Amino acid sequence: MEGKKFVVTGAASGIGAATARELIRRGARVIGVDRNPMDGLEHALQADLRDRQAIEELIALLPDDLDGLANVAGLPPTAHPGDVIRVNLAGLRHLTIGLIPKLRDGASIVNLVSSAGNRWAEHLDQIIEYEQLEWDDIDDFARRHHMDVEGGSYFFSKEALLVWTMRNRWTWIDRGIRINAVSPGPIDTPILPDFVTTLGPRAQRSLEATERLGTPEDVAPVVAFLLSDDSAWFRGSNLTPDGGLSAHMLLGEHGLH
């Protein structure tokens, strides 16, 4: 990855910061994006991904020769439901589409989803409805679907993001640009308590299904792999560094252990 140039959102902490460090270790140049200050990055831009205008200003500031984009920034389920959807889904998509002209041919896009997105098929009606929304409709959409209950906005944002990733597997194939997802399980970051508080027993069951909490360093190399040329035949894929959680869930749905 020597000399390649990547944008990493959420680069101030957690998986985003670990991904930035991993890419730099591999010789890449990283442009970090976060609404908070970013330590240790030579190139960093602060932007609030809840704000459509701020995203457009960010796009204008970024260079025209990018080799990839890692969409890592996200809000936990304790945040305002509309903001969760804006940052985790709407803003991410707006940034990604806006940067397509600035990506080199053969570039890679990686979206940080979550094991929370696994059950997307159960909410297809909501996902299809969301596809027709405008930016200003998001708060009303979240309110109508009671997404303030048990982290609903977070689960929806990750489910819809996974579907969007898969549906765009060939969208930019004429330029060799690919898009994939990474869905970690429970990760030991500062926002982990937000999940435990919001999801209660559901979060506890997820923690019990893995042998340990993951770390940002467990996930960063997976993101780096999908950004690298070694992942050239991955399109619309979803890699799951989750300590076996997704396998546990899938087997459980079919009565297997």
Is 178 strand, coil or helix? strand
- Whose tokens are 């999940």? That residue is 195
- Whose tokens are 């993101």? That residue is 223
Cα–Cα distance list, 239 to 224, 243, 248 (Å): 12, 12, 15
**How does strand 5-9 pair with strand 238-239?**
unpaired
Q: Who's near 42: CB < 8 A, 6+ residues apart?
A: 29
List active site positions: 154
What whole-number distance in Å separates Cα of residue 87 and Cα of residue 66? Answer: 22
What whole-number distance in Å separates Cα of residue 79 and Cα of residue 60? Answer: 28
